[in-house]
């Protein structure tokens, strides 16, 4: 097979700063060993998130200049609406400023005390918005999804047997909707099969429940379906995407992922009455329904981004370049969540430094070590983020879209390898200060 190259050339560059080990040590100490508190300027390769960090295309920047900033009925809104309608088939399309704004509106309407919302795995902000409404968020991912070494093709699937049992147990009247996150970010960026979405939809029909997608990475998920699911190889990603949306009754989307923009979100709804109420909440907290908390130029960039993300050359490059990082690490004996996800590689920190117990935060210690060694920023997904509820100790290396080249990634692989060679010197951490909730953003640590 030919090398899969970056299907773009670079027309504008942003310098990144090389730092000395001493400078990095000082930055790390000033930040209390919390990488969220390190200034981005002191980071060489930033793999903290793939959200809002992608590079826009020349056509997206052209859209920025064309943006119609009228308060109501802007031309840019109609372009955005036409584009989202063409891709998803939905009639009711609300722009929001980002994914969690869509979640806040949706669960403000259908959540509330006594309600429970099942999903494969809820992302943190979705869970937080459900819980904020008084409802409960429940994860029902298939068992393979919990085992980092299992190489099943669709480890993001929602377990349909668990779902049906769960609905019978709590009573269908307590469940306002069923959700599926594509791809499953909290579960290692793993995809969900079309077959699974169809089966979940069948159960939703049986109990007369709407099915909602958290569709942040819908295009990456559709390309995994094309690559891995029997009978899907000859369909276009556009067709697969359309079937995913046709099976659903609504979707929350953060356009900061597969919309390839720096800010933006979408709420899709089929039910007219729900849409009317959502629109009222949108006006209350985001803005008039034809701009939803964004500028006209943002709507142009989003419309263009959602079109570009469906290009199969782009998706082949996107999934392959993430897989490249994962394969190299595996070949060096570094355990990751297998198989590689779409937007990120998740390193198993328990396996990397078995001498550091979970209560000394092996993921955080490892993320700090990568920064110290080579200025790479990643994020802990383990005991710092989830406390005692953590099931795995992971370090997520999320890849921004169209930003880094293969030599950047080769450098990342070298640095991880260097840290791996002297892993027995890694020290555990203790928290010296931090809030009770969402402590991963602000807690300070010291080495033990
Ligand atoms: N759903 C999923 C699956 C996500 O990954 C995110 C964001 C959101 C919803 C919320 O979207 O940030 O636009 O409000 N994930 C980012 C990440 C923050 O780093 O994984 P948002």
Residue with tokens 């509820």: 389
Cα pseudo-dihedral 61, 66, 67, 70, rounded to 10: 170
398 within some domain: yes
Hey, which residues does 95 pair with through a beta bridge?
A: 266
364 within some domain: yes
> Edge-to-edge strands of the sheet including 344-348?
344-348, 394-398, 379-381
Q: Whose CA is nearest to atom 10 of ligand 1?
A: 99
pLDDT in tens, 64-116: 999 999 999 999 999 999 999 999 999 999 999 999 999 999 999 999 999 99
pLDDT in tens, 381-419: 999 988 887 888 999 999 999 999 999 999 999 999 999
Whole-number Cα distances in Å, 140 to 61, 119, 121:
41, 6, 7
Q: How far is the CA of 48 from the centre of ligand 1 (A)?
A: 12
User: How far is 117 from 245, CA to CA, in rounded Å?
Assistant: 19
Which domain, by its residues, includes 219? Answer: 58-308
Domain-terminating residue out of 287, 308, 329: 308
Among 50, 156, 254, residue to substitute to test ligand 1 (most atoms within 8 Å of Cβ): 254
Output the domain CATH number for residue 35: 3.90.1150.10
User: What's CA 377's distance to the chain center, in Å?
Assistant: 17
Regarding the beta carbon of 254 and ligand 1, being less than 6 Å apart is answered yes
> Is residue 444 within 8 Å of 432, Cβ to Cβ?
yes
Average pLDDT over every residue of 244-257: 98
User: How far is 282 from 178, CA to CA, in rounded Å?
Assistant: 22
Q: Whose CA is nearest to atom 5 of ligand 1?
A: 185
* Co-location of 382 and 277 in the same domain: no
Regarding the beta carbon of 216 and ligand 1, being less than 6 Å apart is answered yes
* pTM (global) more than 0.85: yes
* Co-location of 126 and 248 in the same domain: yes
Question: How many other C-beta atoms lie within 10 A of the C-beta of residue 337?
Answer: 26
Instruction: Please name which of 338, 307, 312, 308 lies closest in space to residue 325, comparing C-alpha atoms.
Output: 338
What confidence tier does 1 reach under pLDDT thresholds 50, 70, 90? low
The two beta strands, 379-381 and 92-96, are unpaired
* Co-location of 265 and 135 in the same domain: yes
181 within some domain: yes
DSSP class per residue in 368-380: HHHHHHH-EE-EE
Q: Which residues contact 397 (CB under 8 A, 6 or more apart)?
A: 47, 325, 344, 345, 346, 347, 376, 378, 412
pLDDT in tens, 162-184: 999 999 999 999 999 999 999 99
124 within some domain: yes
Total of domains in the chain: 2
* Co-location of 323 and 369 in the same domain: yes
């Amino acid at each position: 097979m030919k090398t899969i190259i970056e299907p773009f050339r670079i027309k504008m560059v942003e310098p990144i700063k090389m730092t000395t080990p001493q400078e990095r040590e000082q930055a790390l100490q000033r930040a209390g060993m919390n990488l969220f508190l390190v200034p981005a300027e002191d980071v060489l390769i930033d793999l903290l998130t793939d959200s809002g960090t992608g590079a826009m295309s020349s056509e997206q920047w052209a859209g920025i200049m064309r943006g119609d900033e009228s308060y109501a009925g802007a031309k840019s809104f109609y372009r955005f609406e036409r584009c989202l309608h063409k891709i998803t088939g939905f009639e009711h399309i609300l722009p929001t400023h980002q994914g969690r704004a869509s979640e806040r509106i949706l669960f403000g309407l259908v959540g509330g005390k006594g309600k429970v919302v099942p999903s494969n795995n809820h992302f943190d902000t979705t869970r937080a918005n459900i819980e904020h409404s008084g409802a409960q968020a429940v994860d029902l991912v298939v068992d393979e999804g919990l085992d980092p070494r299992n190489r099943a093709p669709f480890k993001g699937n929602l377990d349909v047997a668990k779902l049906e049992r769960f609905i019978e147990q709590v009573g269908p009247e307590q469940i306002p909707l069923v959700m599926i996150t594509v791809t499953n970010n909290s579960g290692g960026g793993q995809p969900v099969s079309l077959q699974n979405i169809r089966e979940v939809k069948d159960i939703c029909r049986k109990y007369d429940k709407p099915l909602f997608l958290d569709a942040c990475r819908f295009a990456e998920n559709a390309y995994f379906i094309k690559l891995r699911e029997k009978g899907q190889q000859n369909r276009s990603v556009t067709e697969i995407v359309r079937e995913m949306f046709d099976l659903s009754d609504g979707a929350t989307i953060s356009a900061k992922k597969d919309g390839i923009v720096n800010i933006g979100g979408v709420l899709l709804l089929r039910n007219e009455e729900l849409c009317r109420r959502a629109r009222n909440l949108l006006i209350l907290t985001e803005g008039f329904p034809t701009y939803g908390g964004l500028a006209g130029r943002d709507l142009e960039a989003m419309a263009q981004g959602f079109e570009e993300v469906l290009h199969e050359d782009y998706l082949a490059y996107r999934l392959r370049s993430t897989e490249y990082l994962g394969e190299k690490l595996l070949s060096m004996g570094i355990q990751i969540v297998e198989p590689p996800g779409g937007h990120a590689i998740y390193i198993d920190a328990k396996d990397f430094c078995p001498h550091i117990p979970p209560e000394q935060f092996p993921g955080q210690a490892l993320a700090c070590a990568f920064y110290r060694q080579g200025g790479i920023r990643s994020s802990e997904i383990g005991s710092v983020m989830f406390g005692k509820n953590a099931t795995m100790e992971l370090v997520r290396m999320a890849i921004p879209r169209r930003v880094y080249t293969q030599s950047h990634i080769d450098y990342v692989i070298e640095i991880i390898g260097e840290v791996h060679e002297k892993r027995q010197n890694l020290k555990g951490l203790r928290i010296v200060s931090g809030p009770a909730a969402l402590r991963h953003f602000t807690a300070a640590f010291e080495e033990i």
